[in-house]
Structure formats: structure tokens, C-alpha cells
Chain A
Amino acid sequence: MLFNSFEFLLFFPIVVCVYFVIPRRIRYVWLLIASYCFYMSWSVKYALLLLFSTVITWLSGLSLDSINRTGRIFGCGGGVLADASLKQKVTKRKAVVAVSLLINLGILAFFKYFDFILNNINVTLSVFSIEPFEKPFDLLLPVGISFYTFQALSYTIDVYRGDVDAESNLFKYALFVSFFPQLVAGPIERSKNLLVQVEHVSRSDLWDLDRITRGVILMIWGYFMKMVVADRAAILVNVVYGDHLIYGSCELILATVLFGVQIICDFAGYSTIAIGAAKVMGFELMENFNTPYLATSVQDFWRRWHISLSTWFRDYLYFPLGGSRCSKAKHYRNIMIVFLVSGLWHGAAWTFVVWGFLHGAYQVVGDILRRPKNALWARLGVRTEAFSWILGKVMVTFMLVNIAWIFFRATSLQQGLDICWSMLASWDPWTLFDGSIFRLGLSEMEMGILVASIVVLALIDGVRFVKGQNIADFLMEQNLWFRWVVCIGLIVAVYVFGIYGPSFTPSQFIYFQF
């Protein structure tokens, strides 16, 4: 079930009410049942896959723990015997991690990349006029597989590294993997954050109106972002990208910028609802977005965008590859590997690879040019701490990110390239003033609502940027009447201007396809 569905609006209050009423020690059991019911609303058989992945990684944690303890019994003292035992332990532990990685990533690769690999093999074969392979079966990508696989694998690696103890209770561990607010689209949680909290909620009195209110405010804000902003922007984006050849530069630029708005509001909206829902139940999930479009560089962008994924790649791929503590060439290689893999993680298509490539290339080129640039600015006497300079950096970063979004949104490489070309070649600024932009799926009134809602978004992000507070924390500092006016205003905005109902095609969250 989607967050923006009747089913969830019924499901969540029921789950929460029971959660607060039942004895503390069985809260996690109730949440586990609820989480599996949540997931099974998509597919019962893919819930078995989730269970399988859960059991494998749980067993891997227990195995690693068992190996550790076995070594401790016999490994006291020094000597050749202790060294051999230690080497054996390390080998066994590595083997356990390798098996866990292989199985889980294998499942992910199978469901996600089988068609992509087959298609590319067939394209290659057709070049040599060899008969292509037939597709033996149709595969449906299990919802959220990329997210829960990464979350489960992070546990295996964390246990291996000794960052967390293995969890002996399968049900508590299963809840960590399947916790419904963040199951299908993140944030990708770490065991040292979420698993610990599973234990905490089993013991604590969770009734705290202040915390629950903050959670509800975050949910309301998430719904506003998704249903008023993201889904409205999507209407224009779909019209233009659906028929890109007939549109000129201005329409394509507008659609691409609005796609940037759509994707942040869609994804951050989902994350905000997830964080809010978890908070209501006493869980603190990690922040996933922090005003990414106010980044002053692409590197800074990735510290603010999909933080849970970028930190996952940092901790489990970038650092093991050597990170930046190596030669420049290897450093750049590591960056490119991480972003190419990140691109592929987002989707099994060359457009996502190009998107990842661009982000990697931006950072490599940015790093190469950093010293000469700084020298040039110093020579020219540019005030790099001035607001105007920072604003310029923000705008350039925004532009670079939007160029990459073209490929993220395009349905093929050809379309992406066509759009890039048309943006440069079909320049007709009059389309901005002759009413053409109101014939792209959004009427004048709808465009006005979109602009107004983006202004509201910018205000809230501004508060976040300046005060470091999210909307819930900010409102909780205000007087009751103001808080109520804002909350009721947002609820009314979602109720009236939300994109839902038979007039609109129900739109899933973008990141569900991952």
C-alpha cells in the first residue's frame, strides 16, 4: 500500500493505537506483523523473499558472532597456534560475509538486472547477426528490494567489523529489516541506530505527546511535498518528456527543472512521512535529505541528497576501496566506481549509468580544477565568502544536477541526448510569455498553485538552512495557535490541492521502482 492511499490512512492509526495499548515487551512483535502485512499488500510471494534475505543475514550475524567466540575460547595467549587460529577465524568470517553478500546481491542482481543484461547481450549478438536469446520468463521487481537488501547487508558488515553485536532474536532482527515506515524506499537504516531502538521501545514508556506531535507534523509535511508539489510537477514533466521532440528549449528546461522539484519532493516527501511515522511510534530514523538544492558543489550535494544511500556507499564501498587515502588516480577511480554503481542501483538502464557517470565526473573534474580555480579567484580578487559568490555556486550546482536529471528521467539515452541538443538548439523565449507553458498539462491556475507551493517549500527549507530545524522542531517552538494554523493550512492544502482521486492517475513514489 502507498503512503498516499486510503488503506494506509486506515492501517497506520490502527497499528499505532494497538502499539500503544499492548504490553511493551510485545510491541516489536506487533510491529513485525504490521510490517509484513504492509509488505504483503504488494505481494505475498515477495514477502517470502524478504524473509529469506532476513534469515540469511541474521544467520550470517550469528555465524560471525559464533566464530568470534570460538576464537576467544582457544585464542588466548600468543604463539604460532594462536596466529593460525586467528587466520582461520578471519578466513571463516570473510567467507560468511562473502556468502551473505553473494546471496543477497545475487538475488538483487537477478531481479533487477537480468532483463538489462539479457537485453544488452542480445543487442551485442544482433550486431554480429547472431540470433538473440529469448526471455525465459517475466520478472517483476520486488518493491523495495534495493533498500532492504542494503539495509540487511549493512548489518552483516557491521557485525563483521565489530560495530554491532549480533542480534540473537530473529523477530527483533526481522523488524529491523522490515520496519514498514522505511521498508520500501528508505531511509536505509544502520543496525547500530535502528536495531538498538527496537530494544529500547520494548522497554520504554513511549507516550510523549510532544514527540508524537512532531511525528504527525512531519507526516503532514511529507504528504504536502508529495501530493501537492511532486505529483503536480509530474503532470507537466510527463507531458513534455512524453513527447519531447515537439518541444523547444524553454519547455524542456522548465520540465527538467520541475523534474528536479518532483524528485526531491517525491523522495523527500516519502522519507519525511517515514521519519514522522517512525517518530510517532518512538523510533528516530536518520535524516535523508538536507536542503540538497542549496548545495554549493556536487560533492556538497551528495552530503545532502539521499544521505542514507550516499553514506552506505561511502562506508561499504568507497572506504573499502581506499576512499581518498590513496593516489589521486585511485581516488578518482574510487569516486567513479561508487557513482557508476550508484547509478546502476537506481535503475537497470544506461540512462542511470550516465546519470551516475555525470555525478562522478563532476566531482573528479571539480577536484582536478580546484587548485587552479582557487588560484585564479585569488588572482582576480574574487570574494569567495561573499553571498553573491555562494549564490552563484548554488546556481551552478543546481544547473549541473539538473543536467544529470535529464538522463535520470529520460526513457532512453537517445531521448536524453535529444533533449540536451534541443535545449541548446531550439531556443524560443517567447514560449514563456505567449501562454504556451499553460498548455503543458498544467493550466494557469494549476501552475499558480505549483509556484505557491514551491514558495512554501522554499520557506520551510530556508528555515532549515538558517536555523538547522526541520518544520516539526520549528513549529514546536511556536505558539499553539500558529502551530495549529500552519498544520490545518497544510492539511487543507493536501485535501483540496492534492493530486489524488479519479481525476488524476494515482502516482507512486518515484523511488519505488528501485
Chain B
Amino acid sequence: MATRFGRSMMKSGTKVVAFVVICLLVLLGVSTPLTVKNRDMDSADLSKMQAEDSIDVLFVGPSRIYTNINTGILWDEWGIASYDLAGGSQPLWSTYYYLKDALEHQHPSVVLLDVYFATLADEYVNHGAIVNNTFGGLGIINKIENKVVSSPEADLADYLAEFPIYHSRYSDLSREDFLPYRGIKDRTAWKGYDVYAQCQPLEQDPDVSGVSATAPIASKTLEYLEKIIELTHEEGVPLVLFCAPFDISAEQQQIYNSVAKIAAANGIPFLNFNLSFDELGVSYVGEETDFLDEEHLNYRGATKLTNWLGSWLKEHYDIPDRRDDVAYSSWQVDADNIRAQIQDIELTKVSDMSEWLQEVTREPRLTLVLIVKGDTTGKSEGAAADILQPYGIDLAEMKDGAIFVMRDGAVVYEASGESASWSGEVWNDAIVASTSKIQFGSATYQAPDDSTTALLYDDLTGRLVQVVSWAFAETGSGQVVRAG
């Protein structure tokens, strides 16, 4: 009877355990597309995927790190294996835990901390920033401690469990949520830098050179700044504090003056680039400024800052050149990707069709889909026809439109007539062209009448570069075509 009872208990227990396990697996499967995914999560998650002790220079801090520090330039120019470990609006307490976690697997030659948020006086940052800076892939203990410090007590349970935050994302789900790293090509090789092209002009550059007073740093922020200093000291990793240039106010400079004192007291270099606009050559003034907005540099400004920092780092620290080391191939992939993105941005500024085509056809990584819409019979002379002739495209015969696909300067596909069409698979997407429109993924671009419309796709970065159109008679000025 006892054996029968024991067997019965075992059977019951097995059923319960099996149900719980299956239920948890289903919930895990359901959670995967729902979890928060953005570049901030990628930064933390991918930092853990770097090989042990592979990062030579580690940049930490808020979003200014991933807009301002071009890891590709550091690699291309000096072979420096760097990583931008950052989060949007990341307060210093989260930076501390990010750094602590990173130093469990990395022993960089130097750590650079952007102290922008030394000015933070609040106990807690906003909800979105808490999520972005505590949900990333830290080790379990560091993750929990980060959440405890970052979350108001009333909300701590939600942030610890995470699913109360992201379960309602079902209404925002897109295809990207079901693809690894949101379908971004070569994301596993990414070292944290994102290319930003926008420009924010101001009437003048800030000048805080005359600000010598100090202002107190808020207690919680100060506590974690000191903990970061202590941590790097304990780990035997040199620390550099810096503040990238931005539209700084006198009050903020007073805080950084306090930071300078702390740095000096601890024998730590502090590079305040807000006092070095001229030296860096960055400016808010003009049409093509170096700034993305009031706080961040764009890719132009990032190039200048990174070049300065790269030289300075090589001069002051013993950082190996890893360019010949095959174990560091991912840094090469990252650098190639960044370079391509910047070149693509420069390409989009070329308005003249002839010049544009010359630039595009020089790059083997670019796929060009051209659609000619309108009756071009007899138009063998004229701007568009002349420009396309050297590529073996004769517009004179194209009465009802045509489609051309070009790769590496050569036409690889052509079709004419009303019913002409083409489709091609690209990274995680498809391009479908007819003589009146081009579809890229779920976006549709309508070709204007009597025009040549071009869709440019970068096979290396896996991104759409631009869709631009030139009227037959006006090839000097391309018009960007928006998805509609």
C-alpha cells in the first residue's frame, strides 16, 4: 500500500512538474518577441559576447558614447580594439554596474568614462531610461543590484520581473522582434558605435572657458562616480574621465569643474572637450555642423573627436595594434560596416545624377535598381539619356518604361515595357520593382512620371541607402522619394 501510495505521489509529482516546465517553456517562447529590443540592450548583450580579455579600450557612459566614439576609426587608424558600452540617459549608478560586469571578463588597457551625467541631480531617471539601462545582459547579481539602485521602491518588483514592463508590447510587435538582433546585418560584430548623419545648427558655439566656479555634484551621482574610480583602481585598470563637446551651460561647466577636482585628487586625467571646440575643430555653426543635437556629435564630429582621442590614447597608453590578429576579425567587420555607412551618407548628398552614378557604380557593395517611367522614345539626346548611355542603357527604345539592375558598375538585369518587373532577395528583405514603383520590404516608393528613379541598397551593411528620382530633363537635382 505504501508502494502504491508512493507510486501515486510520484505520478502526481511528475504531472505537476511536467505542467510547470511546459508552461514555463511556453511563456519563455512567448516572451522572446515581446522583450525590449534596442541598441541599448544590444550594447550590454554583445559586450558579454566579446572574447575574454579582448577589449583593449572600453568606453562607458550614456548615449554620447555610441554617437561620439567611432570604434571603426580607432581600428582603421591604430588597430585599437575598442568597445562602446553605453545606454541612453545612463546615470552613473548604471554605468558603475555595466563597468563592474564588463571587468569580470575584460581587462582593458584603459577605460574612458564620459562624465556628462555628473550633472544629474535626480534620484531616478525616467522609466524608459531605467528599462534601457537595467534590462541589458549583465550578470544576474550585477543586474539585480543595478535594478535595486535604479528603481523607485514602488516599482522595483516590476523592473525585477521585467515582464510587467514588456508584456504589453504585443501591440507594437513587428517583424524585427522575431529576427535575431532585429535583423541588423553583422550585428554580432558591432562594437557599439552608431552612425548619425543629422545636423543641429546653433547661432554660436558655447564658450565656458571663463567659468571657474564649482558646483556640488548630487550625492547619489557622486557616490557612484567615486565607486567607479575605486573599482578601476581595485581592478588595476587605468581610468580616464572625459566630457565630449555639447551645447554646455555655465551651470553644467561648474559641475565639471568639480569633476576635474575629483579627477586631480585621484590622479586621473580629465579631458573636458567643452574647453576645446577649436582644438577639436567642431562647431555648431553653419549648414553642415558636427552636432546631431544639443548633446551629441554626429558622424563628422565623432570622426574629429575619435581621431583626437585615438592619437592621445596611443601616446599615453600601451595599446596593442590588433590588425594582424585573426582573432580580432570582428573589429575589421565592424570598421568596414561603419566606413560603408559613412560613405553611403556622403553619397546621399550628391544631387547630380551623373556624379551620383559614377560614385555608386564604383562600389561593388552597392546594388542599384533603376526604373525609368515615361515615354522616352526619341529621347536619345537629353540629360538622362546621355548619362545612362555609358552604362549600356539606351533610353530611346524605352517606350513604356524599363527596369535596370546594376551591380559593380554593370547592368545585370534589364526589362522594358509596362509589365516589366524584377524582384531580388536582400538581407532579411526583398526588393520588388515595376515600371511605376519600387517596393522594399513593406515600404512602397512611387516613381514620379517622366523620371529615372533609383533605389540604392548596400549589400555590406544590409541597409537601404536612399531612393532618389531625377526628371528626364533635370538631372542636376535629384529628389528624395519617400515611402508612401
Chain A residues within CB distance 8 Å of chain B: 6, 209, 443, 445-446, 480, 484, 487-488, 491-492, 495-498, 500-504
- In the complex, B26 has a CB within 8 A of chain A: yes
Contacts of B171 in A (CB 8 A): 443, 445-446
Q: Chain B residues with Cβ under 8 A from A498's Cβ?
A: 167
CA distance A497 to B22 in the complex (A): 20
List of 4 A-B pairs having minimum Cβ-Cβ separation, nearest first? A501-B164, A6-B157, A209-B12, A503-B168
Residue of A nearest to B19 (CB): A484
Query: Do the beta carbons of A502 and B164 come within 8 Å of each other?
Result: yes
A503: chain B residues within 8 A (beta carbon)? 165, 168
Interface membership of B23, Cβ < 8 A: yes
A491: which B residues are within 8 A, CB to CB? 23, 27
Question: Smallest CB–CB gap between B353 and chain A, Å?
Answer: 43
Known contacts A209-B12, A502-B155; A495/B165 CB under 8 A: no
A-B Cβ contacts below 8 A, count: 47
Return the contact of B163 from the options A480, A484, A495 (Cβ within 8 A): A495
Q: From residue 153 to 203 of chain B, which have CB atoms closer than 8 A to chain A?
A: 155, 157-158, 161, 163-165, 167-168, 170-171
Q: Are B158 and A502 in contact (CB under 8 A)?
A: yes
Complex Cα gap A347–B167 (Å): 35
* Chain A residues, Cβ within 8 Å of B282: none
Residue from B19, B27, B127 in contact with A492 in the complex, judged by beta carbons closer than 8 Å: B27
Q: Per-residue 0/1 for B2-29: is the Cβ within 8 Å of any A Cβ (1 yes, 0 no)? A: 0000000000100110010011001100
> How many angstroms between the C-alpha atoms of A495 and B34 in the bound complex?
11
Closest residue on chain A to residue B25 by CB atoms: A488
**Nearest neighbor of B170 in chain A, beta-carbon distance:** A496
- In this complex, which of A487, A492, A503 has the most chain B Cβ atoms within 10 angstroms of its Cβ? A503
Instruction: Name the interface size band of chain B.
Output: 20 to 34
Q: Is B30 an interface residue (CB 8 A)?
A: yes
CB neighbours of A496 from chain B (8 A): 30, 34, 167, 170
Known: A6-B161, A495-B30. A501 touches B19 (CB 8 A): no
* Complex: A376 Cα to B30 Cα, angstroms: 59
Interchain CB contact (< 8 A) of A497 among B19, B157, B163, B170: B170
Across the two chains, which residue of chain A brings its CB closest to B131? Answer: A502
Given A6-B157, A209-B12, A445-B171, are A492 and B164 neighbors across the interface (CB < 8 Å)? no
Q: What are 20 residue pairs bridging A and B, where the CB atoms are less than 8 Å apart in the complex?
A: A6-B157, A209-B15, A443-B171, A446-B171, A480-B15, A487-B19, A488-B22, A491-B27, A495-B27, A495-B30, A495-B163, A498-B167, A500-B167, A501-B163, A501-B165, A501-B168, A502-B127, A502-B155, A502-B164, A502-B165
Q: How far is the CA of A487 from the CA of B26 in the complex (A)?
A: 12
User: In the assembled complex, which residues on chain A have CB atoms less than 8 Å from the CB atom of B157?
Assistant: 6
CB distance from A444 to the nearest CB of B (A): 10
Point out the residues of chain A lying under 8 angstroms from B165, CB to CB.
Answer: 501-503
Q: Which residues of B contact A480 (CB under 8 A)?
A: 15
Bound: A492/B33 CA distance, A: 14
Inter-chain CA distance A502–B15, complex, in Å, is 35
In this complex, what residue of B is CB-closest to A6?
Answer: B157
Question: In the complex, are the beta carbons of B23 and A500 less than 8 A apart?
Answer: no
Give chain B nearest CB distance to A46 CB in angstroms: 21
Q: A445-B171, A446-B171 are in contact. Are A501 and B23 (CB under 8 A)?
A: no
Complex CA gap A503/B172 in Å reads 13
Contacts of B26 in A (CB 8 A): 488, 492
* Alpha-carbon separation in the docked complex, A443 to B34 (Å): 19
| A139 vs chain B, min Cβ distance (A) | 25
A484 in contact with B30 (CB, 8 Å): no
Contact A488:B23 (CB < 8 A) given known A443-B171, A496-B170: yes
**How far apart sit A495 and B26, CA to CA, in the bound complex (Å)?**
11
CB distance from B245 to the nearest CB of A (A): 35
Complex CA gap A445/B161 in Å reads 25
Q: How far is the CA of A502 from the CA of B161 in the complex (A)?
A: 12
Chain A, residue nearest B164 (CB): A501
For residue A124, give the distance in angstroms from its CB to the closest CB of chain B.
42
Expressed in whole angstroms, the minimum distance between the Cβ of A158 and any Cβ of chain B is: 38
Given contacts A497-B170, A501-B164, A504-B168, contact A492 B30 (CB under 8 A): yes
A492 vs B157: C-alpha distance when bound (angstroms): 20
**Chain B, residue nearest A503 (CB):** B168
- The distance in angstroms between the C-alpha atoms of A424 and B481, with both chains bound, is 51
CB distance from A470 to the nearest CB of B (A): 20
Contact B164 A500 (CB under 8 A): yes
Separation of A487 and B22 alpha carbons in the complex (Å) = 11
Complex-state Cα separation, A500 to B171, whole angstroms: 15
* Chain B residues near A445 (CB-CB < 8 A): 171
Q: Which residues of A have CB within 8 Å of B30?
A: 492, 495-496
A498 to B161, CA, bound (A): 15
Kindly provide the distance from the CB of B310 to the nearest chain A CB, expressed in whole angstroms. Answer: 42
- Which chain B positions have C-beta within 8 A of A504? 168
Give Cα A500 to B164, complex, Å.
Answer: 6
Contacts A484-B19, A488-B22, A496-B34; A501 near B167 (Cβ below 8 A): yes
Alpha-carbon gap, A492 to B31, bound state (A): 10
Task: Digitize B21-64: 1 where CB-to-A-CB distance is under 8 Å, 0 elsewhere.
Answer: 01100110010001000000000000000000000000000000
How close is B33's CB to chain A, nearest CB, in angstroms?
Answer: 10
In the docked arrangement, what's the CA distance between A443 and B170, Å? 13
Q: Which residue of chain B has the shortest Cβ distance to A489 in the bound complex? A: B26
Considering only CB atoms, which chain B residue lies closest to A484 in the complex?
A: B19
A209 to chain B, nearest CB (A): 5
Chain A residue with the shortest CB-CB distance to B130: A502
Closest-by-CB residue of B relative to A492 is: B30
Please give the distance in Å from A494's CB to the nearest CB on chain B. Answer: 9
Q: A491-B23, A491-B27 are in contact. List 9 more A-B contacts (CB 8 A).
A: A6-B157, A484-B19, A492-B26, A495-B27, A496-B30, A498-B167, A501-B167, A502-B165, A503-B168
CA distance A445 to B172 in the complex (A): 10
Given A6-B157, A6-B161, A495-B22 contact (CB < 8 Å): no
Q: How far is the CA of A6 from the CA of B160 in the complex (A)?
A: 11
Instruction: Determine the chain B residues whose CB is within 8 A of the CB of A446 once the complex forms.
Output: 171
Give the residue name and chain of the B residue nearest to A483 (CB). B19
Instruction: State the CA gap A56–B12 with chains docked (Å).
Output: 45
Alpha-carbon separation in the docked complex, A446 to B164 (Å) = 17
B166 to chain A, nearest CB (A): 8
Residue among A6, A488, A502 having the largest count of chain B Cβ atoms under 10 Å = A502
Report how far A209 CA is from B16 CA in the complex, Å.
9
**Distance of A20 Cα from B122 Cα, bound (Å):** 47
Bound: A289/B15 CA distance, A: 31
A487 proximity list for chain B (CB < 8 A): 19, 23
Complex: how many Å from CA A514 to CA B19? 38
Contact A495 B161 (CB under 8 A): no
Q: How far is the CB of A367 from chain B (nearest CB, A)?
A: 49
Cα distance, A31 to B27, chains bound together (Å):
32
- A498-B170 Cα distance, complex, nearest whole Å: 11
Per-residue interface assignment for chain B, residues 428 to 463, with 1 indicating a CB less than 8 Å from any chain A CB and 0 otherwise: 000000000000000000000000000000000000
In the complex, are the beta carbons of A484 and B22 less than 8 A apart?
yes
Cα separation A492 to B23 with both chains bound (whole Å) = 9
Complex CA distance for A365 and B379, rounded to whole angstroms: 89
For the complex formed, measure the closest distance between the CB of B441 and the CB atoms of chain A, giving whole angstroms: 22
- A488 and B127 alpha carbons, distance in the complex (Å): 31
Closest to B13 in A: A209
Assembled-state Cα–Cα distance A502/B171 (Å)? 15
A217 to B293, CA, bound (A): 54
In whole angstroms, how far apart are the Cα atoms of A501 and B164 in the complex? 4
| Of listed A488, A495, A504, residue having the most chain B CB within 10 A | A495
Contacts of B23 in A (CB 8 A): 487-488, 491
Assembled-state Cα–Cα distance A496/B35 (Å): 11
In the assembled complex, the CB of A208 is this many whole angstroms from the nearest CB of chain B, namely 10
Give Cα A496–Cα B31 distance, bound, in whole angstroms. 8
Which single member of A484, A488, A501 contacts B158 (CB below 8 Å)? Answer: A501
Q: How far apart are the CA atoms of A80 and B299 in the complex, in Å? A: 109
